[in-house]
Amino acid sequence: MSFSADEFKNSLSHFASGVTVVTFSDTTRAGGLTVSSFSSLSLDPPLVLFNLQKNIASHDPLLASGLFTVNILSSDQQELSNQFASGKIDKHELIQKLACDLGHNGVPFLNGTLARIECELEKQVDGGDHTIVIGRVISAVSDDSKRPLLYYRRNYYNI
């Protein structure tokens, strides 16, 4: 390899992205995690994807649940992004504290977001140290009155 892992990470940080929190729930516990590697995949059928790091606690429970919701964060939700990115916060307790409602797929969703995209797991693909999670969209709701939260070069930005 002619470049270091740090050089690779720094180069990737130059791609601005929106910020999402992916929520999920099994029969006993809800969970969630901050994800910036989210993308649309197909309009017909309606598919989205995101990359899920294999060595995090949410990996297996999220895939086992088979259902998830992508919450696209608005400009005033930076603290939520930080909370769901933290390894020190119990996400089930956080979701209960936030008094999240349940979507059509039975998964908790965050209030005040730009959009929420409710999915069922379509496929998972090996992607090195990540799993590429492909979801079939079963419901989508958006709020055009809000502004996005962006992530660029390891910092948040509002436009």
Q: Contact 80/73 with Cβ under 8 angstroms?
A: yes
- Domains of the chain, start order: 5-151 (2.30.110.10)
Torsion sign across C-alpha atoms 112, 114, 120, 121:
negative
Widest distance between CA atoms in the chain:
49
Predicted local confidence at residue 26, as pLDDT = 82
Mean pLDDT of 62-68: 96
Pick from 126, 129, 131: which is nearest to 22 by CA? 131
Q: Which tens digits make up the pLDDT trace of 78-95?
A: 999 999 999 999 999 999
pLDDT at 97 > cutoff 90? yes
Could you tell me the pLDDT band of residue 151, with boundaries at 50, 70 and 90?
A: very high
Q: Which tens digits make up the pLDDT trace of 115-133?
A: 999 999 999 999 999 999 9
